[in-house]
A and B are shown apart, each in its own frame.
Chain A
Amino acid sequence: MSKKSRSKLWFLVHSWLALPIWFFVLIVCVTGTLAVVSQEIVWLANPQMRASAPSDDAPLLSYDQVLAAIKKAEPQTVVQSISRPDESHFALDVEVSYPDGRSLTVYVNPYTGVIQGPAPTFNFKAFTRALHGWWLVPFTNGFSWGWYLVSFLGLPMLASLVTGLVVYKRFWKGFFRPTLRIRHGARIFWGDFHRLSGIWSIWFIAVISITGVWFLIRALLFDFQISISSEPIIPAMSRESVPISADGTPPPRISLDSAIEIAQQKIPGLEASFVSLPGNAYSHMSVGGRGWYPLMFQTATLNPYNGDIAASRLLSDRSALEFVTESMRPLHTGDFGGIWIKLIWFFFGLLLSMMVLSGLLIWTKRTALATLNALKREDKRNRKVAPRSTDRHEPSEVRP
């Protein structure tokens, strides 16, 4: 095979990877891009989600103070967990259960403990993630087939990146001589745009597609009941370790702040970003936060009556494989280093969505042009000699 026809073949592969499913890929890219900043969008739309400090030097309340403030405002409300979002402009997310049987998240001011309001009924964050992650197909037995449909896209995306770089001869030159011709018609503009955003997005497309393929593998592992986890299963507390109270009321539990203190002795430097309370009389409470490696959480699981640590999960407890696999999700979502990382992910997400669109535009414009040219040639030949089929479009993408 000649060099030229080989690059033609690569070019065809490159166009066929996304072309038949371009709209699906586009919507997955757009919803993924929105999902990255979904928390921020909800923050913009809902003032009750904001953490306004009453004064500049107002200290943050401790978890126990928050719990006490909620208890005082709504004595009947049962708190299930409190979590402190990464960015300080967000109010605390507190999962509560009400006597009428509703369980929802309420936003609590981290400085005053005021319950600022419930999370909106329409959960934009969960919705965009569900649409992006599994195309809203429900999970019944194991992973939803929508999850497979979406995560499978990681493969053509990775192949697009590789074939794109093969087709784009000496692409590294594009870094030094960026070309974006605006006044040469739409076809040229979108071609330049596709190539320029492509080379600057190499890292991002690689991250998104590799982590996307991981989501596919994860579903397969789960559905075939293969576990790679080194995390031990924590048994429920024994009957003996739960005290009986003579007066028939619940025995006292350790305070949240002392639970955090105990956890910090086990996990030096732990900054607790969440506390979850026991799910029943025989289950544990847990405390956790990010460690020096921002992509993973470290957690401690405690007996809520005497503070004994039942289990802990530190960075050092993870196997090398788990370091890789557990990093996949945060790398995909960009949720590991605050607003700036999210904004970078959002920007490149937009760029990736535009690449799907520009790819389609290039293809339709070129095909339209190629068809027109083919017809013209056909017409000429018909008038002269016997015609020949010219059902082929020129891969003008292959530039020297």
Chain B
Amino acid sequence: MSHIGITPPSRLNRFWHKWRFHLNVLLLLIPLGFMPKYFADASLFRGDSGLGEREIGEIQVGPWSLRLAELRNQAPILTGPAGYMKDFSAALCDACVDHVKATYLRIGKPRSLRAAGVIFFGTPYRMGTQLPVPEKTAADAELWITMEGWDGSMHQASIPLRQASPATLAWLNKQGAKP
């Protein structure tokens, strides 16, 4: 017959029995760990830290220009059935605020204004869009910017995707490496 009540339990056992119901306090480490990211994101969305995590620069589009930025300096993210998406933000030049009707983004040259790509939403000072990036995009692809004027005019410009988003290019190269 064992003397359960008398044999002294091991230190680990005692510790476990004393603290087992308080271990869940450690769950508080989750929000504490995410707090810096939470505040960085809040500042990013408010525009306190600029247009995005990585500024691409001023791009001349015909008579107009815009400042383009990657919202996040990272690879496209999977957003449900729509596939991989990459967020860009932009701001129009001071002189073109009243003349530009819409701004579009597309990978590859658009055949017409009707296929200019995804449209930017927001205000001329800060607008954003989600660009679909197919997994099979070529590494030398170009990002095309189309700007449409209120007078019906249209202007286009392009920059290499590798310049627009090095993180996307790195991601594409990794995709290509897959068997």
Q: Which residues of A contact B (CB under 8 A)?
A: 19-24, 27, 78, 80, 97-104, 121, 123, 126-127, 130-131, 135-138, 140-142, 146, 149, 225, 236, 239, 242, 244-251, 279-283, 360, 363, 374-375, 378-379, 382, 386-387, 389-391
Contact = CB atoms under 8 A, between A and B. Distances in A.
Contact of A378 (B5, B98, B120, B125): B5
Nearest to A95: B123
Given A101-B91, A136-B38, A280 B102 contact: yes
Given A20-B21, A136-B31, 20 more contacts: A23-B27, A78-B123, A103-B122, A121-B46, A137-B34, A239-B114, A244-B151, A245-B150, A249-B99, A251-B150, A280-B119, A280-B121, A281-B150, A282-B102, A378-B5, A387-B3, A387-B4, A387-B6, A389-B5, A391-B4
Contact of A27 (B28, B50, B98): B28
B124 A78 contact: yes
A391 B9 CA distance: 14
B51 interface: yes
Nearest to B91: A101
A137 B28 CA distance: 12
B98 A249 contact: yes
Nearest to A389: B4
Interface in B11-68: 20-22, 24-25, 27-28, 30-31, 34-35, 37-38, 41-43, 45-48, 50-51
B115 to A, nearest CB: 12
Contacts of A23: 22, 24-25, 27-28
A102 B81 contact: no
Considering the complex of A and B, which 9 residue pairs feature the smallest CB-CB distances, nearest first?
Answer: A378-B5, A248-B151, A97-B123, A102-B47, A279-B121, A136-B31, A136-B34, A78-B123, A281-B101
A262 B20 CA distance: 63
A386 B3 CA distance: 9
A225 to B, nearest CB: 6
B48 A140 contact: no
A280 B102 CA distance: 7
Interface stretch (B72-80, B130-138, B157-165): B72-80
B1 interface: yes
A387 B4 CA distance: 9
Contact of B126 (A101, A246, A386): A101
21 contacts: A23-B27, A23-B28, A101-B47, A101-B50, A101-B51, A103-B123, A103-B126, A104-B46, A121-B48, A136-B38, A245-B150, A248-B150, A248-B153, A249-B150, A279-B121, A280-B102, A280-B121, A281-B101, A386-B1, A387-B1, A387-B6
Contact of A281 (B6, B22, B102): B102
B8 interface: no
Contacts of A97: 122-123, 125-126
Q: Select the residue from A24, A80, A242, A251 with max chain B CB neighbours within 10 A.
A: A24
A282 B119 contact: yes
A126 B121 CA distance: 23
A194 to B, nearest CB: 17
A387 B163 CA distance: 79
B47 A246 contact: no
Contacts of B122: 97, 103, 279-280
Contacts of A149: 30
B151 A246 contact: yes
Contacts of A283: 121
